[in-house]
Amino acid sequence: MRVRVPATVANFGPGFDVFGVGIGEPHDELRFRESDEWSINVRGFPVPADGSNVAVVAAKTLASMVGEEVALRMELKKGIRPRSGLGSSGASSLAGSLAMAKVLGVEDEELILKAAMEGERAACGSAHGDNVVPAYYGDFTVIESLNPLRVHRIPVDFHVVVVLPSVEIPTREARKVLPEKVPLKDAVKNVALASSLVKALQEGDLKTVGRLLDDRLAFPYRRRLYPWWETAKKAAIEAGAYGVSISGSGPAVFAIGEDVTEIGKAIAEAFNRMDIEAEAYITVAGRGFEWF
């Protein structure tokens, strides 16, 4: 059996730890079957081929949550670069949890997602849900609460470009720079941005969505991790982007607009001018996992 889990754009501007959307590409693929002992084989981008792989962590977590002792043999085709800001650890975590769910016949969405979030915790120290939840549902998702898991889904299918520079930022490090408290005026601004963005998305008003791609909760503190930000942003806006932001904790940048191919080219060229290689993925937002 095989499952394909796409990359995700978490945060999506003002929705820190709350908003997320699956994108078709890049993606991870996991082939699996029940076995006498645990094993994992990795192709593609290098990630641990042992019990610390988040696919194994999430699968084991789900088994223990339902009180079963089952081992899996896994073959992971790692298509999403780790430390990319594209939900690389989230995709493999969800794949592992889904694999175990399939083998055990578990259908409880909350359990499957909670197990996947434990994979996230193993990767970066935080069991955030804004990568695994949208990768599961395949819609733009808004996480109202984790305990109990309450998610609001907005079906979307707009084009998006994601540009991934050849820079690595571990999510663990990007979370360490965040403060415990933020100024009230910044919290107020984020409420305004996030609530307006949800309304604009529901109305299919992409121009307004683009204008609202801003954040005062995490971005100001992470800004120093992205020394190339202003240059990349300027290139995107000059190429006609409605808006541009950091995907997850970065370094991937995503943008929406009329001509995402041109926008992607402009952002990638801006990185190249700063001597940073970059790869653009033109894709459609609103994609979730698939069995195949």
Ligand X SMILES: Nc1ncnc2c1ncn2[C@@H]1O[C@H](COP(=O)(O)OP(=O)(O)O)[C@@H](O)[C@H]1O
C-alpha R_g of the chain: 18
Q: Per-residue x/- mask for ligand X, residues 3 to 42, rule CB under 6 A? A: ----------------------------------------
Using the rule CB under 6 A, give the single segment among 50-58, 59-67, 149-157, 186-194 that binds ligand X: 50-58
Which of ligand X, ligand LJ64HWYM, none does residue 47 bind (CB under 5 to 8 Å by kind)?
ligand X
Would you call 110 a catalytic residue per the annotation? no
Q: Is 39 annotated as a binding residue?
A: no
- Asked if 84 touches ligand X (CB under 6 A), the answer is yes
Q: Is 172 annotated as a binding residue?
A: no
DSSP E strand boundaries for 93-212: 140-145, 150-154, 159-165
- Give burial (CB, 10 Å; 0-12/13-18/19+) of 74: buried
Find the shortest distance in angstroms from Cβ 43 to ligand LJ64HWYM: 21
Task: Reply yes or no: is the peptide bond before residue 148 cis, omega within 30 of 0.
Answer: yes
- Asked if 86 touches ligand LJ64HWYM (CB under 6 A), the answer is yes
Non-local (6+) Cβ contacts of 199 within 8 A are none
Would you call 120 a catalytic residue per the annotation? yes
Q: Per-residue x/- mask for ligand LJ64HWYM, residues 186 to 225, rule CB under 6 A? A: --------------------------------x-------
Task: Reply yes or no: is the peptide bond before residue 251 cis, omega within 30 of 0.
Answer: yes
Using CB under 6 A as the binding criterion, the count of chain residues that bind ligand X stands at 21
Find the shortest distance in angstroms from Cβ 196 to ligand X: 27
- For the beta carbon of residue 160, count every other beta carbon within 10 angstroms: 25
Strand pairing category for 39-44 and 71-78 = parallel
Please report, as ranges, the residues that interact with ligand X according to CB under 6 A: 47-48, 53-55, 82-90, 92, 123-124, 170-171, 248-249
